[in-house]
Chains A and B, each alone.
Chain A
């Protein structure tokens, strides 16, 4: 369980070097004879904020879901704190999953519950808190994501996209996870709300010594929030000897990456892709 740090401090908590918290070892995920991920090796240290970028269909979300155990690897392994998720017993796997907070692309709030019930859900399921404690924590987390207390009794359907994402973030944070995973947190939001979400991710990082994994298309998010960027490339467009992770480094170096494909993605250039599409149509 993590400890809260001073939220007013501008400096980010120091990362602990050379200590992997989450590792993908030779990770291969195959759907219907099609390799979405093949032989991916990634190690994420405690306290890092990693942005996973790449074009649609390159396997970013599958990679992220594999780390949490939502998708089982076809081959290879995922380790959390040095222990293989494939080998730990079911009860321990459930406990391990609670160390992850997951913010889904469309928030994945439960329609049948109010905002309050959604945020309180992980606490209620664990049965570790009294009603007063649950209320206090839900209201505190609502305030942390910048939502008024009146929102607590609304249904998710009554909220805007930005509010839903913030409720999703509050729900992910309620169990004070060690790792928080964001799936395209700014997709579908206007630029102002996107920046609000970016600021909230930074504030969360300042408040808690949490390890963050952000899957995004948004280069502004990657540059502003992450201290390491991984770029994935679709497996079917790579040679068999090439690694699927074509960039692994700081966001500041993205512009000057040696790989042309990385620079094209960063600048949003279609490149040879347009010709390929025209050829396919012909």
Chain B
């Protein structure tokens, strides 16, 4: 039976008007639904992109030259800015915490708070934020321009896989170098906090160091560095994905760079929360009676 005949034989359905569509909330619900679908599509697309990249990572690495250039751009060129911002963050922590600690007579404990906050949270998140801004934005812009000017198509046409050639080296550079950048942010933050507390605020040098040492466990340092590897992976995947899916024109490239940073930052904070909860649970399952972690 043809479709036309089928349509003729089926009586028309007398539908009740959908009350939801009549309400003032209808456009809002519709927009929320559309956003949810877009979000799920983006996550699915990003997962496939990551899967393709991981497949190349375990089967064949790009040539050494391609990897080294990315290591230089991600690592060496990010060091000064991360060192500088790390120093300032350490100093700001000292300024902000001093008033409260001074009020209760615990000035010398400032080192423990500054160093613990830096090593556990601010160091990794700061390094990741700077990397997302400096490197992630640049990655999205470069790959977006390559997409717009058909350079990515040219790679494919010449028998190279763009994910293998362009994404794998950037991913490796991010995940392998972000721990070093995090350590640098931690170190410079600790130096900055120390200098401001001891030189400007006049806190006793020996007491500051003693409390600093007691306030930071090796596990704190490990947890910060462990989290940073995930942050590096997020920056590389999100930025490269945004670049690969860049819309045409200068506006498209700008949007890709901006979106890369915003998405990276949101994912970094979300994953930070999740990993912090997991790492805390792991720590207390091994050391249930330890209160120094609090």
A residues whose Cβ falls under 8 Å from a Cβ of B: 65, 68-70, 94-95, 97-98, 100, 102, 104-106, 108-111, 121-122, 124-126, 171, 175
Contacts and interface: CB of A to CB of B under 8 A. Distances in A.
Contacts of B160: 94, 125
B153 A104 contact: yes
Contacts, number: 51
Interface in B23-63: 63
Interface of A is mostly: mixed
B158 A125 contact: yes
B169 to A, nearest CB: 12
Interface in B143-191: 145-146, 149-151, 153-154, 156-161, 165
A10 to B, nearest CB: 31
Contacts of B159: 94-95, 97-98, 122, 125-126
Nearest to B151: A108
A102 B154 contact: yes
Contacts of A126: 159
Contacts of A102: 153-154, 157-158
Contact of A97 (B146, B149, B157): B157
B244 to A, nearest CB: 14
A106 B158 contact: no
Nearest to B161: A94
B158 A111 contact: no
B150 A100 contact: no
B156 A108 contact: no
In the A-B complex, the 3 residue pairs with the smallest Cβ-Cβ separation, listed nearest first, are A102-B157, A108-B154, A98-B159
24 contacts: A65-B153, A69-B156, A70-B156, A70-B157, A94-B160, A94-B161, A97-B157, A102-B153, A102-B157, A104-B150, A104-B154, A105-B150, A108-B153, A110-B146, A110-B151, A111-B145, A111-B149, A111-B151, A121-B158, A122-B159, A124-B63, A125-B158, A125-B165, A175-B158
Contact of B158 (A65, A105, A122): A122
Contacts of B157: 68, 70, 97, 100, 102
Contacts of B161: 94
B74 to A, nearest CB: 15
Nearest to B145: A111
Residue among A94, A95, A108 having the largest count of chain B Cβ atoms under 10 Å: A108
Contacts of A125: 158-160, 165
B150 A106 contact: yes
A77 B165 CA distance: 28
Contacts of A69: 156
A105 B157 CA distance: 14
A124 B158 CA distance: 11
A12 B195 CA distance: 80
A277 B256 CA distance: 34
A170 to B, nearest CB: 13
A171 B159 CA distance: 13
A175 B161 CA distance: 17
Contacts of B63: 124
A148 to B, nearest CB: 24
A173 to B, nearest CB: 12
A141 to B, nearest CB: 14
Contacts of A70: 153, 156-157
A110 B156 CA distance: 13
Nearest to A118: B154
Interface in B117-160: 145-146, 149-151, 153-154, 156-160
A33 B170 CA distance: 35
Given A70-B157, A108-B151, A110-B154, 9 more contacts: A65-B153, A98-B159, A100-B157, A104-B153, A106-B150, A108-B149, A108-B153, A108-B154, A110-B146
Nearest to A125: B160
A97 to B, nearest CB: 4
A98 B160 CA distance: 9
Contacts of B149: 106, 108, 111
Contacts of A122: 158-159
Residue among A102, A124, A171 having the largest count of chain B Cβ atoms under 10 Å: A102
A142 to B, nearest CB: 18
A171 B160 CA distance: 14
Contacts of A124: 63
Nearest to B157: A102
